[in-house]
Amino acid sequence: MRQRSLRDHNLALVLRQVTSAPRPPSRADIAAATGLTRATVSTIVDELIAGGLVAELRPVSRSGVGRPGTGIVPAGTGPAGLGMEVNVDYLAVCAVDLAGAVRHRELRHLDQRERTPAQTWRALAGLADRTAAAVGALGLVPAGAVMAVPGLIEGGTIRVAPNLGWQGVALPAAADFPALHGLDLGAGNEATLAALGERHATGLDSFLYVSGEIGVGGGIVLDGELFGGSHGWAGEIGHVTIDPQGPPCHCGARGCLEQYAGEEAIRAAAGLSADGDRPVLAGLADGARAGRAPVLAALDRAGTALGVALSGAVNLLDIATVVLGGHYAELIDWLRPALERELSRRVLTAAWSPVEVRPSALGADAAMIGAARAVIQGILDDPARFLATRTP
């Protein structure tokens, strides 16, 4: 670990003040909020402006005493974090700026189960190229990338990604992505990164995030921080047992939540065709809106299973908010009754401390936005490191 100097610390303090303030603060506002002198704040703001991290708004002329304060804002042409997502049936890349706004988004439907990892990396590199070009045209500079993977990562290896059918697949290097020349490429679990995205989008401090697409994943946020467990593998609620004798799961076990509440399981229970042209989600939502009994029954079954698994998680963790992401966010109206019924029956404390269930704020984009957000987080935590990379 690099020793952080006082200057490095103050850079982070001032930058965080600029990105988190409800309205653009002046230098004087920043001095008041941080306890730094106005001279120190001005020096640091100038350095952040020179490094392209913040910008100064045009001073507004106004009547009254004193020089008008000039608002400082995150630079709209500053660094962009790239979030890349490998999912079972699509690839996606987005770019998020220092203020947390999504500035560009690319998505391509591609089934990874029919491809080699190398083919996946190549296709993803194409999306990253287009994203880098698009943000470049907006005046933003890619500052790093994080890749979200629907599996468990250890060191440089994806140990297992059950729904991709991958085991022991090496993560790609930054060099495999021309758009990332010289930048860092990180990787993390998809649902964990999605939880990070939701944390920033909602401001919630503690919640269980559960996302359902082809796989069912989860992430745990405690007191504002991601809870990763001993190796970063925490949150795997998709493989919590619903029925020990239940249907076999890709993971090798039986009766996992995913076999009741994963997309394939819901589709099969609803009697929808597996090879239709329409996305399964649309078929389920349309069928539910039309009141088709098999679709409603399948969603009730999925909601029940989600309720059983989440009740166990709440009993273990004492976290009172559940955020439903992925397809669940769109299906929440039909999942909620059964889910809340199980929570109220099975959570030991539900009678006096009910569990709140709410839809994801970011929907299916949560993982890639969270991945991009992780890059931005790195810059906010240590802007000095980023500034050092900008000077030749």
Task: Summarize as ranges the residues that interact with its own copies (CB under 8 A).
Answer: 152, 154, 159-160, 162, 206, 218, 220, 228-237, 239-244, 251-254, 256, 304, 308-309, 311-313, 315-320, 342, 345-346, 348-349, 351-353
Q: Do the Cβ atoms of 225 and 211 come closer than 8 Å?
A: no
Name the minimum Å distance from CB 218 to its own copies. 7
Q: Which of 384, 380, 357, 351 is nearest to 200 (CA)?
A: 380
Residue 308 or 387: the one with the smaller Cβ distance to its own copies is 308
Question: 302: part of which helix (H) or strand (E)?
Answer: helix 293-317
* Cα radius of gyration (the chain): 23
* 54 contacts: CB under 8 Å, gap ≥ 6: 15, 18, 45, 48, 72, 73, 74, 75, 78
Residue 90 or 233: the one with the smaller Cβ distance to its own copies is 233
Please tell me the distance from the alpha carbon of residue 217 to that of residue 52, in angstroms, as a whole number: 37
Please tell me the distance from the alpha carbon of residue 361 to that of residue 47, in angstroms, as a whole number: 35
E strand spans, 110-205: 141-149, 152-154, 157-161, 166-170, 185-189
Name the minimum Å distance from CB 322 to its own copies. 13
Name the minimum Å distance from CB 182 to its own copies. 33
Phi, psi angle pair for 326, to nearest 5°: 60, -140
Residue 59 or 229: the one with the smaller Cβ distance to its own copies is 229
Name the minimum Å distance from CB 220 to its own copies. 7
Residue 70 or 241: the one with the smaller Cβ distance to its own copies is 241
Name the minimum Å distance from CB 317 to its own copies. 5
Beta bridge partners of 55: 73
| Strands across the sheet containing 102-109 | 102-109, 90-97, 79-86, 141-149, 185-189
Name the minimum Å distance from CB 241 to its own copies. 5
Strands 72-74 and 54-56: antiparallel
Name the minimum Å distance from CB 366 to its own copies. 19
Residue 22 or 203: the one with the smaller Cβ distance to its own copies is 203
Residue 136 or 312: the one with the smaller Cβ distance to its own copies is 312
b/e code 109-121 from CB counts within 10 Å (16+ = b)? ebebeeeebeebb
Residue 236 or 365: the one with the smaller Cβ distance to its own copies is 236
Q: Measure CA 17 to chain center.
A: 23
Name the minimum Å distance from CB 314 to its own copies. 9
Residue 130 or 254: the one with the smaller Cβ distance to its own copies is 254
Name the minimum Å distance from CB 158 to its own copies. 12
Residue 70 or 206: the one with the smaller Cβ distance to its own copies is 206
| Strands across the sheet containing 166-170 | 152-154, 157-161, 166-170
Q: Measure CA 207 to chain center.
A: 14
